[in-house]
A = this chain, B = another copy of it.
Amino acid sequence: MSDESSDANLGLERLIFFSDAVMAIAITLLAVDLRVPEIAREVAAAELPRQLVEMAPKITSFVISFVIIGIYWIAHHRNFGYIKRYDTRLILLNLLFLLFIATLPFITGLLGEYSYLALPNMLYAFFAACIGLAVFAIWRYASHNHRLVDEQISADLIRAVNVRGLVGPLVFLLSMPFALINPLYTQIVWWLVPLSAWLVTRLVARKAKQMEH
């Protein structure tokens, strides 16, 4: 399918735009699961605060998913900053990424409703890992032998982005067995993702700066 490979900017822009639109819709739809509680008018004043507090697991899983889509949007945004061409296989890998993104609101709803069970926590960690692995696969495919990326990108940078892309999925996969001990533990492990992403980004940044000098 290499015949479709082209440096046509418009085509690549449209691919990026389509991905951004799907991510924007998914990130906004997350909140649709936060349903307004229905309470009779007579008891609403007393009941509403209690029911809002009971929504805590739903609100938590909404915020977690928002952060995750946000982080993967940044990663997608960064990686596509280096990608200069596209072909059909890249489109297909990107569609796989969008399939996981589009499924996340459902998985988030499941987690919000049944956060006290092991299964939704494991399922959520698995899907979050899949999103990250899809981002990783896009980068790996595009950067291998400078297939679709800028020629001037160093092999070191390509490797660094590869490593960075594996951190998130790894943490998510490692968090899965914790759900069997206590579902809450899983979610605590997840907060390592932004932390480790930030750490690895710093390291990559330092390396990139060293390479420039």
Interface residues of chain A, those whose CB is within 8 Å of chain B, are: 1, 3-4, 8, 10-11, 13-18, 20-36, 38-39, 41, 44-45, 48-49, 52, 62-63, 66, 70, 73-74, 77-78, 81, 88, 91, 95, 98-99, 101-103, 105-106, 109-110, 112-114, 116-117, 119-120, 201-202, 205, 208-209
Contact = CB atoms under 8 A, between A and B. Distances in A.
19 contacts: A1-B202, A8-B81, A10-B13, A14-B20, A18-B20, A18-B73, A24-B25, A26-B28, A27-B102, A28-B101, A29-B29, A31-B102, A31-B103, A32-B105, A33-B36, A44-B114, A62-B103, A66-B99, A70-B98
A29 B10 CA distance: 26
Contacts of A45: 117
Contact of A27 (B14, B41, B91, B98): B98
Contact of A21 (B25, B41, B117, B120): B25
A31 B105 contact: yes
Contacts of A105: 31-32
A26 to B, nearest CB: 6
A155 to B, nearest CB: 18
B16 A102 contact: no
A77 B15 contact: yes
A114 B39 CA distance: 9
Contacts of A14: 16, 20, 77
B27 A24 contact: no
B15 A17 contact: no
A81 B10 contact: yes
Contacts of A117: 44-45, 48
A48 B119 contact: yes
A70 B35 CA distance: 24
